[in-house]
Amino acid sequence: MTGREPKDHPFLVEAIREVPGGVEVRLRLTEPSLRRTSALPGIANRLLEALPGITRHRCESGRPRGVIAEIADTESAHLVEHIALELLARDGFPRTMAGRTDWDFRRDGRLVYRVFLGCEKTEAASDALHEACALFARLTRERAECYSTA
Ligand SMILES: [Zn+2]
């Protein structure tokens, strides 16, 4: 279930465990320059082209701004969480499903995140998280291609 990301993926799924109400995934970011989505100009728009349902997400990160502004400038792990939630919604899981991204680099190690998905079907949650990491990798590569001729 874990460790199946190609080596060039920015996020590695290190562990998945069942917790009350869902699953908690440990994600490691291997590319520090991709820590925040603001390092990836246009990523929000490209993501919305792939998954328009994300416009329907609510995000309570403590800042009163829309989800689009939020995903354009947030921790990349938080973006991966929203992608995974949308993939689950697309597969028929309820849109009311909750997610949460926490990090404490002193406790867990640098660039290690804990992503909670309120999905009690562990395999579906795992698949969504892996697919979200793959989509994030693709979005970052698309960005790299944009600049490769510069
Ligand atoms: Zn959020």
Encoded amino acid at 120, one letter:
E
Pull the structure tokens for residue 143.
């960005």
**Listed residues: CB within 5 A of ion ligand 1:** 59
- Cβ neighbors of 32 (< 8 A, separation 6 or more) are 111
Which tens digit of pLDDT belongs to each residue from 67-83?
888 889 999 999 999 99
Pull the structure tokens for residue 39.
């390092």
Check if the beta carbon of residue 113 is closer than 8 Å to that of residue 27. Answer: yes
79 CA from centroid of ligand 1 (Å): 7
Please give the pLDDT value at position 27. Answer: 97
Please give the pLDDT value at position 60. Answer: 75
Residues with pLDDT less than 70, the chain: 1-8, 61-64, 143-150
Please give the pLDDT value at position 67. Answer: 85
- Of the CA atoms within 13 Å of residue 108, those in its CB half-sphere come to 16
Separation of alpha carbons 68 and 59, rounded Å: 10
80 CA from centroid of ligand 1 (Å): 10
150 CA from centroid of ligand 1 (Å): 33
Check if the beta carbon of residue 19 is closer than 8 Å to that of residue 135. Answer: no
H/E segment holding residue 81: helix 76-90
| Sequence ranges of the domains in the chain | 11-142
